[in-house]
Each structure stands twice: as structure tokens, then as C-alpha cells.
Structure 1
Amino acid sequence: MPGEFNIRSDYLDIYSKTKDQMKYIVSSSVRSQILVCLSQGPKTMTELRSETGQTSSALSHNLSNLEKKKITTKNGERYFLTSLGEIITVNLLENIKTTTAISKFKKLWSNHDLSSIPPHLLKRIGNLHNSTLIESESRELFKIYNTYEKILNESKYIKGISPIFRCNYIDIYQKVIEKGTKVELILTQDIANHTLESVSNTEMEFLKNSISQDMIKIWVIPEIKVAFTVTDKYLSLGLFLEDGTYDNSKDLISDDYDAVNWGNQLFEYHKNQAIPFTL
């Protein structure tokens, strides 16, 4: 891509100039622990010692150095983050979350297609750190299905993207709509066509009525390589393998606020590129 080499060169140049400052924080577990603790509010030495498990000597030495660099300060018996310290610590916490999400769910990221997750959300992949990876062998795929059904039944609204077809999902969505749950779906054109060909006359009538009553809204998109559902409480995320097949054996589930917010943003990103579906 034009300009890509220059952008990378700029980052390499920036790194060479700032690497010592970056290493100063992350190379010391004591300093990192101090900043994480102080991100929760001012702490006394006793509180820092209790929360980090470090000795007073180790804490005092590092706090003195942090104060010299204007990252922390002291008022009475309590230690605080400075404004500079707040900036550094916020980014440190993001880095911790990102590293956690990468290492914790390595099975999901490895050999899977991430092309449908835009760069600005890949950058915030740490929002998924407090999630659970559900894994099933081929003979027990019902585990993922049962978890998914439970998520839908407990939701006040549902937003989903599906480039795969499962006939039993038609029944699930009909049941939740009948309970008053509003549904928004983004389907690939192939899946939209397949769905219409598979529904009965009764189901088609229900679909038309649900659309007219704004209980379900559907968009179509040419192609997408991620399948997920986000509700008011949960995120369920599935990915395609690099060979183009959908991985039925793994599903990332989370009820964490940051993960749900991440999922909502991913849905809105693709909805902005989709076309409203009409019967």
C-alpha cells in the first residue's frame, strides 16, 4: 500500500527514541504493580505492601524513582499518580488486558481468519480478556448450541451477524421475538436466500409480520468472516478457520461490559456497510 513503508519506518524511528522509557515501566514488576494499585486510588505504604506482596524497601526504592520521573507523588502518607502517571497507567492497563486476551485465547486467534474485525477493534482486543472460551468436540457440539440458546433466552435485544446457516436458529429467533425481544440480523446474501428457501409458509408470514412491527430488522452483506451475537448482557463470538471453513468447535462467550460494548461496535461497523433487507 502507498505510504506503508514510511509509516512503518516512522514507528521504528519512534521506538528507537522511546524504547528506554517503555522498558522502564514494563521491565519492572514492582513498578508495574505500583502503578496498577495506584490506578485504583491513593495508597499508603502499608496498603501497597499488602496488595503487591513486595517489601517496603523494594517499594520505597521504586516509588522514589517514579517520583523523580514525575509519574507518582506523595501527600502525607499516601502515594498518588500524577497526570503523567495517569496517562502511562491507563495505557499500561490496556497493554495488560491485550496481552491477557492474546495469551488466554491463543487457540481462538491461531489459524483463524480475523479479516472481518477492523483494525480499531483489533487494537482493543483486550476488551475480551474477561471472557470464556467454550470448546466442544464434534460429538458434543450441543454444548455451544445450548450456551447460545441460553444467551438468547435471557436477552432483551439481540444483534447478530451470521454467514452460516442453521435451521434450528429459525425456531429460536421466533420464540424470542414472540416473547417481545427485538432482533437485528446481518446475513450474507447466500444465507438470506437459503433462509427464505427453508422457511415454511407459516414462518414466512411470521417473518413478514415481525418486520412490519419492527420486531426484527435484517441487513445483507456480500461476505463476512465472523459469526457473532451481542445482546444487552452477552457477547458470543465465533471465527472462521484460515481455510475458509467455520470453526464449530470454539465460541468466545462474555458477560463483561467491555466485551459487550466491543461487540456492539463490531455490529455497528458491519451494519454501516450492509444493505437493508426487504421482502
Structure 2
Amino acid sequence: MSMELQLIDTIFFSDKRKNLLLLLKDGPKTIEEIKTELEVSSSPIMAQIRILLRDRLLVQRDDVYELSVKGKLIVPKMEPLLSTFQVFDENHEYWARQNLCTLPPHLLDRIGELGHCKELVPERTHIFDYPPEIMGPLYRSRTVMEVSSFFRPGYPGLYLDLAKRGIQVSLVLERPIYRKLISDYLKDVEEFLAMENTCLFVCDHKIELASSIVTDRFISLSMISKDGRYYNHEMVSFEKSALPWGQELFNYYKDMSEKITQI
């Protein structure tokens, strides 16, 4: 086995070693502190410590263990990779269907920031509605931002209602969606634009996903499959780390869009 493969095996193929390395990222620990914080006994954890010492990821000073120089370089890079593994492992079938290349590269690299996600599959009787699981949090949010390349019949009424409740609402829509709105819901759009807590942007570039909603409570991502189909499934995360990721996705499309102030 090459040194590189041995190192990968050492780091990732034992939860005890992985958890110990992440624990020591915060600073040196005595064996008693390690046992207490990881809730392990002496014999099993000492076996893992010996392996990490052998591969020079740890150093020992008396009864204190800490990351070596090599460990301090490697361990901080473990967390994003482990987070990415978690995102894909928890919802493998969903992500396998999606064309992930449609996400901006800098955000795809950090997809682990979505954390724990749940796939929401709509009932056939409510195929065009927002999932009920996000409606409560949506109305309890202070800010709501959505990027969308498709039209939901409930769009105009929902976002007007949210804005009337004092929620800051910002939308980025593809040009064809905007045209449909002003064609079929002109009065609602005019009322929306007249409010102080609303923003509407129109994007003439192709939005490479179905929709993304990000609030101060959650992010909901609906993508287009590898075969170009839209299945109306939402991937939702309530993790704090997911919110800045979602805001960057919104800003990515907002920055290439035109702000609409009046029709």
C-alpha cells in the first residue's frame, strides 16, 4: 500500500481515529480528557493513538497528545470532505439523479455546507404546491429569497401575502417567468413592486436549476435531473451552515440580473 493510501485508510476508515483527530483540532488533550470527551475506554483508544503516532499525525508530550505539524495541515481539510460525504450519503438516490454541474463551481465545492438534508416529495394532489413542511417556517421567516426558472400557480399570491406580513421578499426570475407574471397577474406584480420590503430581479441568462428558496430559517433546493426533467422534489436543510451557501447562490444569479422597479 502506498503512503498516500495508508494515510487515507488511517484517517477515514476508523470512526475512533477520525473523531480523535477532530477533537485534537481544538488543542492538546490528556488521555483522560480524550476518554471523557469521546466516551471511550483506555484500551480501544490507545490502540488508535498508537496508529496515529506511527503515521506521524499525532505527537505525545508526557500524558498529553496533540496534532503534529502534518496533522495540523491535514485535519482542517477533513471536515469539508466529511460534510460532503454526509450530504451525498444521506440522499444518495436524489443526488445521483441530478446534474450537479449546473451548480456554480465554487458552491458545488462547498456542497457539504448544506449539512443534514431531507428530500420532500409532493403528494400527487398537490404537485404544484410548496411542500407543507416548509410553509410554517416560511411564514415565520424574516427574509425570503428565491431564484426560479419555472412558474408555480401559487407564486403571486404567496409572495404578496408574505410581503404584506412584513417579511423582506426578494425574487430572481428568468425573463419568461417575469413575462408570464405581468401578463397574467399584472395588478399583483404592481402591488408587490410598490412595497418597501420587496425586490424583483429579472435574469436574461439561463438559471440552471428549477428553484432555490433561502430564508433565515432554511434553504430549499429544487434541481433539474440529468435527463433535463423536473420532478418537483425539494431538498431542504435547516442547518445554519446551509444559509450562507443559499444566500451566495441567490446573489450569484442576482448579480447577473436586472432590478425591476416599475413596469
* Same-fold status (TM-score > 0.5): yes
Matches within 5 A, 1:170-185: 170-185=156-171
Which of 98, 121, 137 aligns to 1:112? It is: 98
**Quick one: distance in 1 between partners of 2:260 and 2:55?**
57
SS in 1 for 2:241: helix
Which of 230, 234, 239 aligns to 2:218? It is: 234
Normalised by the length of structure 2, the TM-score is: 0.85
SS in 2 for 1:244: coil
Amino acid in structure 1 at the alignment position of 2:204: I
Change (3 A) 1:172 1:143: closer
Q: Which runs of 5+ in 2 are unaligned?
A: none
Partner of 1:206: 191
List 4+ stretches of structure 1 deviating above 3 A: 16-24, 27-30, 39-44, 46-55, 67-70, 73-78, 139-144
**Quick one: distance in 1 between partners of 2:69 and 2:236?**
36
Partner of 1:80: 66
Whether 1:260 aligns to 2:246 is no
Q: Note the alpha carbon deviations across 1:111-147, whole angstroms, 9 max, x for none.
A: 2232331122111111122222222342454885323
Matches within 5 A, 1:5-154: 18-49=4-35, 52=38, 56-67=42-53, 69-75=55-61, 77-139=63-125, 141=127, 144-154=130-140
Which of 200, 205, 210 aligns to 1:222? It is: 205
Q: 1:38·1:81 contact (CA, 8 Å) conserved in 2? A: yes
**Quick one: distance in 2 between partners of 1:79 and 1:178?**
57
**Quick one: distance in 1 between partners of 2:137 and 2:143?**
11
**Quick one: distance in 1 between partners of 2:161 and 2:59?**
58
Q: Which runs of 5+ in 1 are unaligned?
A: 1-15
Normalised by the length of structure 1, the TM-score is: 0.81
Amino acid in structure 2 at the alignment position of 1:161: V
Q: 1:192·1:220 contact (CA, 8 Å) conserved in 2? A: no
How big is the shift at 1:187?
0.6
Q: Note the alpha carbon deviations across 1:168-216, whole angstroms, 9 max, x for none.
A: 1211111111122222111111111111111153x24313312xx3522
SS in 1 for 2:131: helix
SS in 1 for 2:45: helix
Q: 1:160·1:185 contact (CA, 8 Å) conserved in 2? A: yes
Q: 1:111·1:242 contact (CA, 8 Å) conserved in 2? A: yes
Amino acid in structure 1 at the alignment position of 2:144: I
Amino acid in structure 2 at the alignment position of 1:255: F
Q: 1:186·1:221 contact (CA, 8 Å) conserved in 2? A: no
Q: Note the alpha carbon deviations across 1:5-60, whole angstroms, 9 max, x for none.
A: xxxxxxxxxxx884443343224444223213323554433443455566533432
Partner of 1:7: none
**Quick one: distance in 1 between partners of 2:129 and 2:30?**
47
Change (3 A) 1:144 1:44: farther
Give the paired residue count: 260
Alignment root-mean-square deviation, CA: 2.7
Change (3 A) 1:204 1:51: closer
Whether 1:160 aligns to 2:143 is no
Amino acid in structure 2 at the alignment position of 1:177: A
**Quick one: distance in 2 between partners of 1:166 and 1:225?**
17
How big is the shift at 1:258?
0.8
SS in 1 for 2:227: coil
Q: 1:133·1:253 contact (CA, 8 Å) conserved in 2? A: yes
**Quick one: distance in 1 between partners of 2:119 and 2:150?**
20
